Amino acid sequence: MTTDAPEILTQMKAGARAMWSAGDFPAIAQRYLWPVGERLVRRVGIGAGEQVVDVACGTGNAAIRAAEAGGVVRGIDITPRLLEEGRHLAEKAGVTVEWIEGDAEDLPVPDESADVVLSTFGVMFAPRHRVAAVELARVLRPGGRLGICSWTPEGLQGEFFRILGAYMPPAPSFAQPPLLWGNEQHVRELFAGTGVQLEFEREMATEEPRFHSGIEALEFNSTTFGPLMAVRAELERRGEWPAVRDRLAALYETGSEAEYLVALGRKT
């Protein structure tokens, strides 16, 4: 890292907090992510009274399901607005979750205190992958289980990020691309030496309800999804949005299923 890396890292995280606060991420989560949290919780298996930490929990698509399964759940996210919405959704579901503002790279959780650690499309956006992976392993007690869902480079969301990335300035050298969390070998390397033994599966996420066209999907996402809203505003300022709009609409027209990698682990 360069000497100004800590300042750049702080700026990146402040920008991420603002970006995820924009738009209507709860609507995005309900449409795309909510079934994934339910599947992951079922896959990992959570018993009554087990200590669960959901990292980069967003609005709680996994945290709330873990609480419904009987877990004692802490949901941690860098964005206060998402935690506020999570509280509201947990109240509606009739479950208790402890919502904590915190960073995936510096979790406010004691060592070896969790039976289960989860993350659905969250920890993948932490800029320093190894730092975040070590944190997940640190808070997991021996025998504890890990469940992480991340978009794959090969899937629809992978192409989505590549299209946008071609128009955006490069990230700092220490910030790794989020899509690497969708690569099995990369994830194995991240957890090397942590005591977490991994296995992998690939699954598909589908929006519900379905959009009628690629244009409809694009209009919803580009006016609701904070990261895309920010990119759209910048590209409109530069006069480049029409070309990107057409590429994204064509991508959404190809289908609605987005592949993701499920990394399941157990700490020895």
Q: What is the pLDDT of residues 90-104, one digit of tens each?
A: 999 999 999 999 999
CATH (domain of 158): 3.40.50.150
Sequence letter at residue 222 = S
Classify residue 36: in a domain, yes or no: yes
Report whether pLDDT(170) > 70. Answer: yes
Report whether pLDDT(140) > 70. Answer: yes
Q: What does the pLDDT average to over 51-80?
A: 98
Is the Cβ–Cβ distance between 75 and 98 less than 8 Å? yes
Classify residue 77: in a domain, yes or no: yes
177: preceding bond cis by omega (within 30 degrees): no
Residue 230's Cα: distance from chain center in Å?
18
Band (254; pLDDT cuts 50, 70, 90)? confident
The set of residues, in sequence order, having a beta carbon less than 8 Å from that of 170 and lying 6+ positions away, is: none
The radius of gyration of the chain's CA atoms, rounded to the nearest angstrom, is 18
Classify residue 177: in a domain, yes or no: yes
Q: Is the Cα dihedral 32, 225, 210, 93 positive or negative?
A: positive
Classify residue 11: in a domain, yes or no: yes
Q: What's residue 1's pLDDT?
A: 40
Is the Cβ–Cβ distance between 128 and 176 less than 8 Å? yes
Q: How many domains does the chain have?
A: 1
Please tell me what DSSP assigns to residue 124: G
Domain residue limits at 187: 5-208+259-267
Classify residue 147: in a domain, yes or no: yes
Classify residue 235: in a domain, yes or no: no
Sequence letter at residue 176 = Q
pTM above 0.75, yes or no: yes
Q: What does the pLDDT average to over 125-136?
A: 98
Count the Cβ atoms, other than its own, within 10 Å of residue 187: 23
Residue with tokens 């025998």: 143
Gap between the Cα atoms of 79 and 59, Å rounded:
10
Which residues sit opposite 257 in a β-bridge? 206
178: preceding bond cis by omega (within 30 degrees): no
Helix (H, G, I), strand (E, B) or coil at 53: strand
Flag the least confident range among 5-9, 84-88, 191-195, 263-267.
Answer: 5-9
Is the Cβ–Cβ distance between 59 and 85 less than 8 Å? yes
Band (6; pLDDT cuts 50, 70, 90)? confident
Q: What's residue 3's pLDDT?
A: 41
Classify residue 83: in a domain, yes or no: yes
Task: Return the closest-CA partner of residue 222 out of 243, 245, 206.
Answer: 245
Classify residue 103: in a domain, yes or no: yes
